[in-house]
């Protein structure tokens, strides 16, 4: 009999639904050293939280997340709330001896992220594990790209081009969701989706952004107040309007610690782009290209090959030898967005059971938070160079 790992989740909207799906399916896909048990979900509204528990397969629901900290049947706290509550919940959970999975970005400020990281480091000394949910690391093609880069396929990396383009705020009548309010979200496209491409760039290269020069902009400065439930991604607006206090788009160039040059673009105003997260890396020996809307594909160029047969080659990252793919379907049977979270949960459960530290750690997420902070500082100063 495998040991049971009791899960308590805080938040049940978009990310809560996604995480619930992963917790429900992970043991059916991966041979885990422990079996997750969905014990309790916490939310603000009793009726909606109870309905979510029933729909998503949680045994119980509560409106007080603090009660999870005192339960012996809860081993892991999974934080799926807006960023303004991450620090309070994570620090309390770590101090209570609970393992923590926290959605990205880690916090709403560098100061909060530093406090959370200090708590994670202190808890680690007592065997308490923590991880941040940068799920794109678990795309098989991206994990494969990291292996290839580490093996020297690209040589010295010269250029990185990263983007995350969406269009879901193009309608000026889209309601003023919590994601558009700085007091809840910290930042807009910058933190919500820009954090992903910063993390992917640093993950792939095992390098860090050292300095940035940035611009941010808010295209629609007022939006109708939401009416009814607000998950930050949908809903109906009322006749009253409120101020948008975050960026709609962020554009910045950066220099990596290695000296490589990088560009990053994050926007919710790219008409026709639904979830276009992509990255390109160009080095002295070759190049790699990836686009999430074709997430099973990795394009590889070997610059040392004969010119007559050179060019980019399409690799379908679904082989059994590719990272994560072997646990799923036969080659050629592609994966989707939800599978990245199952892969993520499998890694977390394995590390907790084996007593090892999962990645990305809170320290990794703090590195991303410092880049976000430097981008905001640079943009506020009119695009001046800012050291991370």
Cα separation, 357 vs 350, whole angstroms: 10
pLDDT in tens, 358-382: 999 999 999 999 999 999 999 999 9
pLDDT computed for residue 234 by the predictor = 64
DSSP H or E run through 31: none
pLDDT for 218 beyond 70: yes
Rounded Cα gap, residues 214 and 203, in angstroms: 21
Count of helix runs (H) and strand runs (E) in the chain: 10, 17
Q: Are 235 and 128 in contact (CB under 8 A)?
A: no
**Domains 4-136 and 139-354+368-387 alike in fold:** no
Task: Write down the pLDDT at residue 239.
Answer: 82
Per-residue pLDDT for 229 more than 60? no
Q: In the predicted model, what is the mean pLDDT of residues 131-143? A: 98
- Which residue in this structure is represented by tokens 């993520």? 344
Answer with the residue of higher pLDDT: 231 or 42: 42
Q: Does position 212 have pLDDT exceeding 60, yes or no?
A: yes
What is the DSSP secondary-structure string of 39-61? Answer: EEEE-SSHHHHHHHHHHHT-SEE
Q: Which two tokens stand for residue 20?
A: 């619930």
Confidence of residue 231 (pLDDT cuts 50, 70, 90): low
Contacts of 30 (CB under 8 A, 6+ apart): 327, 342, 346, 350
Residue 386 and residue 127 in contact, taking contact as beta carbons nearer than 8 Å: no
Structure confidence at residue 335 (pLDDT)? 97
Are 323 and 344 a contacting pair, CB within 8 Å?
no
Do the strands 312-316 and 386-387 form a parallel or antiparallel pair, or are they unpaired? unpaired
pLDDT of residue 307: 87
Cβ–Cβ under 8 Å, residues 76 and 99 = yes
Distance CA 125, CA 162 (A): 36
Cβ-based burial of 146 (10 A; exposed 0-12, middle 13-18, buried ≥19): middle
Average pLDDT over residues 321-326: 95
3-state secondary structure of 363: helix
pLDDT bracket for residue 230 (50, 70, 90): low
What Rg value do the Cα atoms of the chain yield, rounded?
21
Q: Where are the alpha helices (DSSP H) in 102-222?
A: 110-124, 140-150, 182-185, 189, 195-205
- Work out the average pLDDT over 347-360: 98
CATH T-level fold of 139-354+368-387: Dihydrodipicolinate Reductase; domain 2 (3.30.360)
What is the bridge-based pairing of β-strands 60-62 and 386-387? unpaired
DSSP state of 356: -
Rounded percentage of the chain residues whose pLDDT exceeds 90: 94
Is residue 99 scored above 80 in pLDDT? yes
Residue ranges of domains in the chain: 4-136, 139-354+368-387
Higher pLDDT, 237 or 28: 28
> pLDDT at residue 228 above 80?
no
What average pLDDT does the chain have?
A: 96
Mean pLDDT of 206-213: 98
| pLDDT given for residue 134 in this prediction | 98
Q: What is the pTM of this model?
A: 0.96
Q: What angle do CA 149, 150, 154 make, to 5 degrees?
A: 30
Q: Which residues pair with 242 in a beta bridge?
A: 223
Q: Extract the tokens encoding 237.
A: 């607006």
Segment among 48-57, 241-250, 306-315, 342-351 with least mean pLDDT? 306-315
Q: Rounded to whole angstroms, how far apart are CA atoms 111 and 172?
A: 33
Chain center to CA of 34: 24
Q: What angle do CA 31, 33, 36 make, to 5 degrees?
A: 90
At residue 237, does pLDDT exceed 80? no
Asked if the model's pLDDT at residue 244 lies above 60, the reply is yes
> What are 260-288's pLDDT values in tens digits?
999 999 999 999 999 999 999 999 999 99
In the predicted model, is pLDDT for residue 236 greater than 80? no
CATH no. for 4-136: 3.40.50.720
- pLDDT tens string 167-209: 999 999 999 999 999 999 999 999 999 999 999 999 999 999 9
End-to-end Cα distance, the chain: 48
Token pair in block for residue 10 = 């805080």
């Amino acid at each position: 009999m495998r040991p049971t790992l009791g899960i308590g989740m805080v938040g049940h909207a978009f990310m809560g639904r996604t995480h619930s799906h992963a917790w429900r399916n992970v043991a059916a896909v991966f041979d885990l050293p422990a079996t997750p048990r969905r014990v309790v979900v916490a939310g603000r509204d009793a009726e909606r939280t109870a309905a979510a528990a029933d729909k998503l397969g949680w045994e119980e629901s509560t409106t007080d997340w603090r009660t999870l900290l005192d339960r012996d049947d809860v081993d892991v706290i999974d934080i799926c709330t807006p960023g303004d509550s991450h620090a309070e919940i994570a620090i309390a959970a770590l101090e209570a001896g609970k393992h923590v999975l926290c959605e990205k970005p880690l916090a709403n400020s560098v100061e909060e992220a530093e406090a959370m990281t200090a708590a994670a480091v202190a808890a680690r000394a007592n065997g308490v594990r923590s991880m941040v949910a940068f799920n794109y690391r678990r795309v098989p093609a991206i994990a494969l790209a990291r292996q290839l880069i580490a093996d020297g396929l690209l040589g010295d990396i010269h250029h990185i081009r990263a983007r995350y383009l969406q269009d879901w705020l193009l309608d000026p009548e889209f309601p003023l969701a919590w994601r558009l309010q700085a007091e809840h979200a910290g930042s807009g496209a910058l933190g919500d989706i820009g954090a992903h491409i910063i993390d992917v760039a640093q993950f792939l290269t095992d390098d860090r952004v050292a300095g940035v020069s940035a611009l941010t902009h808010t295209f629609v400065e007022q939006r109708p107040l939401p009416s009814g439930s607000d998950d930050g991604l949908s809903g109906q607006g009322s006749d009253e309007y409120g101020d948008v206090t975050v960026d709609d788009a962020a554009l910045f160039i950066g220099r990596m610690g290695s000296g490589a040059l990088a560009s990053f673009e994050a926007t919710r105003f790219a008409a026709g782009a639904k979830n276009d997260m992509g990255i390109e890396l160009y080095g002295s020996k070759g190049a790699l290209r990836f686009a999430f809307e074709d997430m099973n594909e990795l394009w590889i160029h070997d610059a040392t090959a004969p010119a007559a047969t050179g060019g980019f080659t399409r690799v379908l990252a679904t082989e059994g030898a590719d990272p994560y793919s072997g646990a799923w379907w036969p080659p050629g049977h592609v994966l989707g967005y939800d599978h990245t979270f199952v892969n993520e949960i499998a890694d977390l459960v394995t590390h907790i059971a084996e007593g090892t530290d999962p990645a990305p750690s809170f320290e990794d997420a703090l590195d991303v938070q410092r880049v976000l902070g430097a981008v905001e500082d640079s943009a506020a100063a009119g695009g001046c160079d800012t050291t991370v």
